[in-house]
A and B are shown apart, each in its own frame.
Chain A
Amino acid sequence: MMESILVTIPFGDMIHYLSGYTGVLFGFAAVFVLLAVISLPEKPVEIVFGTDGYSLKETPVDLAKFQRFMAIACGIATIGAIVTGDIFNFTLFAAFIGVLNIGIVAAVKNKHVLSAAFSYGLVVMMGTVPLFAGAAIIAATTGTLSIWELAAAGGVPVIAKLLLLIGVLGEGMAPFYIGKAEITRASGAPYILMIHVSSLLLFLRVVEILLTV
């Protein structure tokens, strides 16, 4: 998988790269960042049952601004996780995405959504432990953190891969909570999409890493 490298961006010991596979993921994430930049918050319509009456919910400007900031930052963190060529850097970006997802979910002022955000926050906090433990075990057993070197040398223990996978699972569990909290229909709708995008891309990227190293 390492032979089809299109671009490399060196940052000292960390060499970011785009292969054909991650290039597609990068394009996908970039499109959604652009959508978050240009889109305005949706106005949900509530129909009064049994009558013709309806009400429009306005999203407060400060809430919309905050959610847009979080969505754009989440998209950029996702791009970082996609292009990075370093295991520890990847775990940092995964933790970053988890924190930003909490921010997007917790910004909505609704009891159900906030209780879902609390549960998700617990999972994210738990998820960072196996995530960084996985990176630490990789550094201890192979002596390096670069995905390039690991792809050439191999020898990453199964437990480190499992810890990395379960950690990303915890960070990317947000869509479960949004589905339950019905937040996609709550105010601030377009920015919520970024949670799905970041989780999906994070999973696709971690699968690529685990198959490569």
Chain B
Amino acid sequence: MKEVQEAKDCPAKKARGTFAPFQKLSCYLSTIENLPKLYAICVCLIIVFGLCSVPFISYEEDQLYPKSLDPSSSLDPYDRGGVPFTEPAVIIAQYPENAPAIGYVTAYLTPLSQFLADYTFHLGTTIVAHPGGILDEILYYTRGFDTIVEASILFCAFAIAAFLYRRSKE
């Protein structure tokens, strides 16, 4: 245990007993185990500042991606209206010129999904759990690139975990 402690101390501390405040600070920073602590303190300070500034920031009513809940609908909370193939759902896009099929993606339901939606109240909880389930337009069409990046993050995290797990078994 003592050896571990010595390894964590920086060389300046070992060489001399007393040193200037700047040396102390530099000693503290050069010990990598201290950096998460320091970072957490910075985040806390900014969050305290943020809580103090809450009265000065206001919620914008004109949201690009509004959310309305209708608990009586069987597609709740993803009911955005529309009829498959004929009538598009009401979706707001930042750049409508980039989304020619806007509204049709969300409105689409396969016959099976339509059947489930007609006879149960829980289709909205199975957003993509079965083929032709509710496809949320904002997730998969206008902001579809986000979903790709999210999936890539998960894929790479799994790749790292798999590599480390297999190595631990060697």
What residues of chain A have their CB less than 8 Å away from a CB belonging to chain B?
10-15, 66, 69-70, 73, 77, 80, 86, 88-89, 92-93, 95-96, 99-100, 102-103, 106-107, 109, 115-116, 119, 122-123, 126-127, 129-130, 137, 139-146, 149, 157-159, 162-163, 166, 169-170, 173, 176-177, 180-181
Contact = CB atoms under 8 A, between A and B. Distances in A.
Contact of A159 (B53, B60, B93, B153): B53
B49 A162 contact: yes
B40 A126 contact: yes
Secondary structure call for the A interface: helix
Nearest to B138: A13
Interface of B: 30, 32-33, 35-36, 39-40, 42-43, 46-47, 49-50, 53, 56-65, 93-95, 98-99, 141-146, 149-150, 152-153, 156-157, 159-160, 163-164, 167
Contact of B60 (A140, A146, A180): A140
Secondary structure call for the B interface: helix
Given A13-B93, A73-B156, A180 B32 contact: yes
A102 B145 CA distance: 24
A190 B120 CA distance: 57
B53 A96 contact: no
Given A99-B160, A123-B39, A126-B40, A12 B152 contact: no
B46 A176 contact: no
B93 to A, nearest CB: 6
Nearest to A146: B94
A144 B64 contact: yes
B47 to A, nearest CB: 8
Contacts of B46: 130, 159, 162-163, 166
Contact of A170 (B39, B94, B149): B39
Nearest to B150: A92
Given A89-B149, A106-B160, A162-B46, A13 B94 contact: yes
B36 A119 contact: yes
Contacts of A102: 160
Contacts of B156: 70, 73, 96, 99-100, 103
B49 A69 contact: no
A142 B99 CA distance: 22
Contacts of B164: 106
Most A-side CB within 10 Å, residue of B32, B99, B141: B32
A17 B29 CA distance: 38
A149 B35 contact: no
A13 B50 contact: no
A96 B30 contact: no
Contact of A93 (B36, B57, B149): B149
